[in-house]
Amino acid sequence: MRRKHDPRRKSFLAVLNKHKAAILSMMFILYFIIVFLILPNVNVILDSFVTGDGISFTNVAKLFRSKYAMSGVKNSIILAIAMSVTVNVVGIFIVLVTEYFEIKGAKILKIGYMSTFVYGGIILVGGYMAIYGDQGVLTKALLQYFPDMNTKWFYGFWGVLFVSTFAGTTNHFLFLTNATKSMDNHLIEAARNLKASPLYIITRVVLPILTPTILAATVLTFIGGLTAFSAPLILGGNDFQTISPLILSLVQVRSGRSLALILGMILGLLTVLLLLVFKRFESGATFFSISKTVSKFNKIKIRNKAANCIVHIFAYLLFVVYTLPLAIVILFSFTNGRAIDTGIITASSFTLDNYVLLLTKSQYFSSYINSIVFSLAASVIAILFVFLAVNLMSRYKNRLVQAVDFALLIPWMIPSTLIALGLLTTFDVPNVLVFNQVLLGTVAILILGYTILKIPFTSRMLKAAFAQVNKEYELAAKNLKAKDFYIFRRVIVPILFPTLVAVLALNMNSLLDDYDATVFLYPLKYPTLGVLIRSFTKTESTVDTRAMLYVFSTTRVLIASSILYIAYGVLLSDKRGRHIGKIKAALRTWIGKLANRLAGRDGVESANEPIK
C-alpha cells in the first residue's frame, strides 16, 4: 500500500533537521544537569530522609534537639545579620572614598581595598591571624604591656566578624564601583542646584539610586555570612561555631551526614528565600536613571575642611587594616622561624629558605601545579558548558529552557560541602550514568566538583553578557549571508570575549585554594593548595609550618595577581595584539631553545631564531 503523504510529518522532520544542533546540545545539557546537578543532591536528601521504614523525620527532630547544631544555626544568622551591617558600612565607605569623593591618593587606597580580590578564604584569615591571632604581631606587642592579657582575645564572634567584614567587601567594591561611576552626574548637580548638602545628596539621592546594587551586594554578603567557613573555622573557637564548619565536621562521620544535610538544606532554603525577596524588591521600583542622556560622573570635593580631614583619616586607617595582613604575610614569608615566633625582625632574620623549601619539596610544589591545573580545567569546562546553555537560552524561549536556567543555579542553593558529598556518595561505585566508571579517587571528580561550583556564577555573568549583545549584529551578519556558526565564531564570541576572560580569571582565582569541597573530592595522590594551607593553619601548627603558610599565601597572591594581570592587563588590554605578539615571540624563542637542546645543538646561535 502506498503511504499517504503527511505534510505534518514532513514538517516535523524538517523542524528536527533545522534544529538538530540545538536538540543535540540540549540533550547534553539535560544529561549534565540530571546526572551531576540533580541526582547527587537527590541522593544525599534520600539518604537523610529515607530509612528502612520509609520516609522519616527523625533526623530533623534530632537536629532541632541538638543544642550544638541549633547554636550553629543561630550563630550563622547572627553573623549574617551583623555582616550585612558592617560590610555595608565599610563597603559603601570605601567606594565613596575611591569613586565619589575627591580624596588624595585615591588610586593607592583603591589598590589597598582591592587586596581582597587576590587573597581570601583561609589565606586571608591566616593573614589577620599573623597580626591579631594568639601568635600575632599585635598580640605579642600587647603582651609586653599587658602580660596577663588573654592571647586568644581575637577569637570568637568579634574576631570572626572583623575578618569577615574586611574579607566581604569584594562584592561591594566590584558592583558599587561600577554603579557609582555610571551614575548620571546631572542628578548630583540638580541636587546641588537645589541647595542640598553633600551628606543630604548621599543619603537622599546617591544611596537610593545605588539601592539595588547595595541590596544585591547585601544579599551576597548575607549568604556569605550564613555560609562563612574559613573565619569561623579558624577564629570561631568553641564559642562561635557556625553552620558551614559544623557541616564539615558532621559529614566526616557517617552518622552525622544526615544532620549535615538538614543543616545544608536550612542554608539552601534561607538562600533561596533571600534571592526571592531580592527579586521581588528589585522588580517593584525604579532605581536606574530615567534620563535618555547620562552625563559622566565627576568626583565631589568635600568643602568642609574638618569633614574632609576626618574622611581622609578613616580612608587611610581602613587602608592599613586591609593591607597590613598582606604586608605582614609577605614580610614573614622572607623571614626565619625565630622572627615569626618573636615578632622581632632584624637584618639576619631574612632568608629565602622557605621559598627554597617550597620549590624543592615535591609535595609543596606539586600542590601548586595541581591547583592551577584543576582550577583552570574546571573554569574552562564551566564556561564551555554554560556558554552552550546560555546560547540556547538566548535563541529559544520555552519552559524547558527556563528550567535549564533555573537548574544552573542549583549549586548556589546547596553548600559546597554537600555538593561534594553528593558527588562522593553517587559516584563511589560503578555508575551506568558515567559509563560504569567509579569517579571517586580520580581527578575527574574533583574537576567535576569545581565545575559544578562555578556554574551559577558563570551562568549569571554570561547571561548578562548575552543580553547585552545587540541582536542587530546577528541580523546584519545573516543579511550578509553568514552561516550560523560563522556568526557565532566571528561576531558573538568576539563581543563576549571580555566577559569570558573575566569569568575565567575570577573562577580560577576562587578555586585555587578551595578547601571545603576539595577536602572530600581530592585524590590523595594530588593534594591541592587549599588542603595544604589548611593543615598549616591548625592551632597546633609549628613555627616552621606557619612560615610555610606565609610562603604559600604570598605565592598564592602572586598567582592570583598574575591571573588577573593576564586577564585584564594582557588579554583585555587595548594593546592586546602587541602583548600577545610579545608572548608568542617569547614562546617561539623558548620552544626554539628547547628544540635545539633536544636536538643536541648549540642553543646559543640559534636560540633567537623563531620557529618557522
Partner 1 sequence: MIHISNLGIKYGDFTAMRDLNLDINEGEFFTLLGPSGCGKTSVLRTITGFVKPFAGTIILDGRDVTEMPVEKRDVGIVFQSYALFPTMNVFENIAFGLRVAKYKEKQVKEMVVDIADKVDLNHEQLKRNAAELSGGQQQRVAIARALVMKPKILCLDEPLSNLDAKLRHQLRLELKELQLKFGITTVYVTHDQEEALTLSNRIAVFQNGHLEQVGTPDEVYFNPQTEFVSTFLGAISQIPSELFGVSGETKCFIRLNNVYFDPGEAVDSVALDVEIRSISFFGLYYTVTYQTDDGFQLSNAVINCNHKVGDRLTLYIDRSRVIFLGGDANAPEA
Distance CA 49, CA 611 (A): 63
Distances (CA, A) of 445 to 137, 378, 453: 41, 11, 12
* Closest distance of CB 38 from partner 1, Å: 40
Q: Could you give the CA distance from residue 20 to residue 4 in angstroms, rounded to a whole number? A: 26
Write down the least CB distance from residue 94 to partner 1, Å: 23
Member of 22, 81, 190, 585 binding partner 1 (CB under 8 A): 190
Nearer to partner 1, 45 or 191 (CB): 191
Backbone Cα Rg of the chain:
27
Q: How far apart are CA 355 and CA 84, in angstroms?
A: 39
Cell numbers representing residue 499 in the block: 566577559
Please answer whether residues 464 and 392 qualify as being in contact, where contact means their C-beta atoms are separated by less than 8 angstroms.
Answer: no
Say whether residue 285 binds partner 1 (CB under 8 A): yes
Residue 5 contacts partner 1 per CB under 8 A: no
The DSSP call for residue 133 is S
Task: Return the range that interacts with partner 1 (CB under 8 A); candidates 53-61, 220-228, 286-294, 348-356.
Answer: 286-294
**Closer residue to partner 1 (CB): 55 or 285:** 285
∠ Cα 590 383 505 (to 5°): 55
Is 514 among the residues that bind partner 1 (CB under 8 A)?
Answer: no
Does the footprint of partner 1 cover residue 288 (CB under 8 A)? yes
Please report how close the Cβ of residue 303 comes to partner 1 at its closest, in angstroms: 7
Region near partner 1 per CB under 8 A, out of 198-206, 267-275, 377-385, 587-595? 198-206
Q: What is each CA distance from 281 to 212, 226, 276, 284, 287, in whole angstroms?
A: 8, 21, 9, 5, 11
Least distance (Å) between residue 180 CB and partner 1: 15
In one-letter notation, the amino acid at residue 426 is T
Under rule CB under 8 A, residue 283 binds partner 1? no
350, β-bridge pairs: 335
Q: Does residue 308 bind partner 1 (CB under 8 A)?
A: no
CB of 59 within 8 A of CB of 262?
yes
- Please tell me whether residue 541 adopts helix, strand or coil conformation: coil
Kindly state whether residue 296 participates in binding partner 1, applying the rule CB under 8 A. Answer: no
Q: CA 447, 118, 419 angle in degrees (round to 5)?
A: 30
Nearest CA to 448 out of 465, 433, 467 is that of 433
Closer CB to partner 1, residue 38 or residue 196? 196
Q: ∠ CA 305-310-315 to the nearest 5 degrees?
A: 125
Nearer to partner 1, 197 or 542 (CB): 197
Residue 189 vs 428, nearer CB to partner 1: 189
Count the residues in the chain: 612
Least distance (Å) from partner 1 to the CB of residue 57? Answer: 46
Mask for 241-280, x = binds partner 1 (CB under 8 A): ----------------------------------------
Report which DSSP code applies to 568.
Answer: I
Return the exposure string of 90-119: e unless at least 16 CB atoms fall within 10 Å of the residue's CB, then b: bbbbbbbbbbbbebeebeebbebbbbbbbb
Shorter beta-carbon distance to partner 1: residue 194 or 384: 194
- Does the protein bind partner 1 through residue 182 (CB under 8 A)? no
> What is the closest distance, in whole angstroms, from the C-beta atom of residue 185 to partner 1 in the complex?
9
Candidate ranges 190-198, 307-315, 448-456, 473-481; the one touching partner 1 (CB under 8 A): 190-198
Q: What residues contact residue 538 under an 8 Å CB cut-off, 6+ apart?
A: none
- Interaction of residue 303 with partner 1, rule CB under 8 A: yes
Shortest Å, Cβ 593 to partner 1: 49
What type of residue sits at position 38?
Answer: I
Interface region with partner 1, contact rule CB under 8 A, candidates 55-63, 288-296, 337-345, 511-519: 288-296
For residue 287, state whether it binds partner 1 (rule: CB under 8 A): yes
Q: Any residues with CB less than 8 A from the CB of 496 and at least 6 apart, and which? A: 462, 465, 466, 469
Pick one of 5, 8, 195, 280: the residue that binds partner 1 (CB under 8 A).
195
Does residue 558 bind partner 1 (CB under 8 A)? Answer: no
Among the listed residues 152, 192, 588, 593, the single contact to partner 1 using CB under 8 A: 192
Q: Which of 145, 255, 280, 290 binds partner 1 (CB under 8 A)?
A: 290
Q: Closer CB to partner 1, residue 184 or residue 514?
A: 184
DSSP string, 72-117: HHHHHHHHHHHHHHHHHHHHHHHHIIIIIB--TTHHHHHHHHGGGG
For partner 1, the closer CB: 285 or 524: 285
Shortest distance, position 297 Cβ to partner 1, whole Å: 12
Q: Tell me if 209 contacts partner 1 by CB under 8 A.
A: yes
Burial of 284 (0-12, 13-18, 19+ CB in 10 A): exposed
Which residue type is seen at 486? Answer: Y
Measured from the CB atom, is 238 or 286 closer to partner 1? 286
Among 66, 135, 151, 289, contact with partner 1 (rule: CB under 8 A): 289
Residue 205 interacting with partner 1 (CB under 8 A): yes
Residues at the contact surface with partner 1, assessed by CB under 8 A: 184, 186-187, 189-197, 200, 204-205, 208-209, 211, 285-295, 303
